[in-house]
Amino acid sequence: MFETLKTAFKIKEIRRKIFITLGLILVYRLGCWIPIPGIDVAAMSASIQGNDFMGLMSAITGGSLQYGTFFAMGIGPYINASIIMQLLTVGIPALERLQKQGEDGRKKIAQYTRYATIILGIIQAVGILVGLGSSVSGGLLDSSLFPAHLGWLQYIALIIIFCAGTAFTMWIGERITEHGVGNGISLLIFVGILSSAGNALISTVSQALGLADSQNQQMQIWSLIFFLATVIIIFSLIVFVDLAERKIPVQYAKQVKGRKMYGGQSTHIPMKVNASGVLPLIFAFALLSFPQLIANMIAPNGGFAIWWATYLGTGTWLYALIVAVLIVFFAFFYAQIQFNPEDVSRNIQQYGGFIPGIRPGKPTTEYLAKINNRITLFGAIFLALVALVPSLIFSAVSQGNAGLINAFSTTGLLIVVSVALEFDKQLEAQIMTRHYKGFMG
């Protein structure tokens, strides 16, 4: 990857795109430090630390949510809106036809996604202000901005500011995708996770070095070393599985057209083990946390909210079981959308190809479906284990340091790996395109 970056900086056009990407990321990070007037930062931070789900959201935004800044909600509403639009595209024929209309159809779906982002942003902002405000005495509002009897006006102002920050974050991500390198939304999440991880590490090291008792200091340092070693091992495992793929050999028969002979070559169909990436985890966590978010928004101290937090809250065995089942379900659901064995079999047969040992037509379709189901099952089990087991290991070796656990969550590690590999592939593709242009010129 470092060699790819070195080569990319030698090409003026790609170097310009990289600088545009870095500049827009810098604007995003500056927005993550702009405080919002009217919020009690101390109360906001205290309520986030006592909520595992909100702690994970804060880690994804680089700590913006914890400190009540302009980009507090980050790109979260846009991600949820994109997930909903993907599911609706499969279930609603009108949206499916719109997606197949090419560039114009995709632009319309993107516009619908933006509208859904604003709606979800309003709902999420209300949930944050009401839900988190009920968990601390005095609430989250700073009464110095508005009189007590105009508190509703302060809520409206904060909701507008939160949604404006989300809209601006969405705009930055789209500009990176259009004028920079890679997927802008993914890069913003990537930067937020790395920022949270860096802050958590600095805070932990400073806390360990500040201990007066040398014995406790050594225990903290060794605990941090074991934690980082565990992160590296899990990180390596994620990279290994993320790059793993099953290559299905395809042989094309020789065809004589006029005086020339075509075909006769061998190729393969790459089927990735973890083709769905981190999406099943995001789907599962979002679906399971949505009822809790609604309950906290409507009746934070009600019976349903207390029951949900007790039996289905983060850390319970039933929560872990349902998350694992949902991850497997969404992995198969996304695999069915992404890979259609019948279409692949038809394309292979149309161009005179065949899989050695498998008859063309229906047998090829059944063979591809069988291989795809097996690989998807292995990838789903891997995602479920990665989502649950490392969290237990992190809790054991980090001595319950919630900041480290949230900053180095397995979901965050999967996102970091996926985005880094995708960014590297984008750079390689642009470098290759540039070399071809030079050759043709």
Look at residue 52 and tell me if it is in a domain: yes
Angle at 74 between CA 121 and CA 49, to 5 degrees: 100
Look at residue 138 and tell me if it is in a domain: yes
Counting the structural domains of the chain, the total is 1
Look at residue 60 and tell me if it is in a domain: yes
pLDDT score for 441: 45
Tally of CB atoms within 10 A around 130: 17
| 0.95 exceeded by pTM | no
* Helix spans in 50-138 (H): 52-60, 76-91, 93-99, 103-127, 133
Q: What's the rounded Cα separation, in Å, for the pair 79 and 96?
A: 19
Tokens read off for 387: 């989502």
Helix (H, G, I), strand (E, B) or coil at 368: helix
Judge residue 419's burial from the number of C-beta atoms within 10 Å of its C-beta, 0-12 exposed, 13-18 middle, 19 or more buried: buried
Nearest to 380 by CA among 291, 289, 279: 279
Judge residue 246's burial from the number of C-beta atoms within 10 Å of its C-beta, 0-12 exposed, 13-18 middle, 19 or more buried: middle
Tokens read off for 357: 């040992």
pLDDT tens sequence for the chain (441 residues): 667 777 777 778 888 888 999 999 999 989 888 888 877 777 777 777 656 566 667 777 777 888 888 888 888 888 888 878 877 887 788 887 887 777 788 888 888 899 999 998 898 888 777 766 665 555 666 666 656 666 678 788 888 999 999 999 999 988 998 888 878 888 888 888 888 777 777 777 777 676 666 677 777 777 778 777 877 887 788 788 877 888 888 887 766 565 666 556 778 888 888 777 777 877 777 677 767 667 666 666 667 777 777 777 666 778 778 888 888 888 888 887 777 888 888 888 877 778 888 888 888 888 888 888 888 888 888 888 877 776 666 666 555 555 566 666 666 777 777 777 778 777 887 777 766 544 444
Q: What's the rounded Cα separation, in Å, for the pair 32 and 172?
A: 13
Tokens read off for 253: 């028969």
CA distances 268 to 250, 254, 338, 355, 428, Å, are 5, 17, 18, 9, 21
Look at residue 6 and tell me if it is in a domain: no
Look at residue 158 and tell me if it is in a domain: yes
Q: What's the rounded Cα separation, in Å, for the pair 63 and 70?
A: 11
pLDDT score for 110: 86
Residues pairing with 261 in the sheet: 256
Sign of CA dihedral 364, 370, 373, 376: negative
Q: What residues have CB less than 8 Å from 297, skipping those under 6 apart? A: 123, 126, 127, 130, 131
Look at residue 271 and tell me if it is in a domain: no
Look at residue 265 and tell me if it is in a domain: no
177 touches 20 (CB < 8 A):
no
> Which residue segment(s) compose the domain that 175 sits in?
32-180
* Long-range residue pairs from 131-136, CB within 8 A, at least 24 positions apart, any chain: 131/293, 131/296, 131/297, 131/300, 132/44, 132/47, 132/48, 132/51, 132/54, 132/296, 133/43, 133/47, 134/296, 134/300, 134/301, 135/47, 135/50, 135/51, 135/300, 136/43, 136/46, 136/47
Look at residue 257 and tell me if it is in a domain: no
Nearest to 243 by CA among 278, 282, 280, 271: 271
pLDDT score for 172: 92
pLDDT score for 402: 55
Judge residue 422's burial from the number of C-beta atoms within 10 Å of its C-beta, 0-12 exposed, 13-18 middle, 19 or more buried: middle
Residues in the chain, how many? 441
Tokens read off for 339: 């890979």
Q: What's the rounded Cα separation, in Å, for the pair 319 and 350?
A: 48
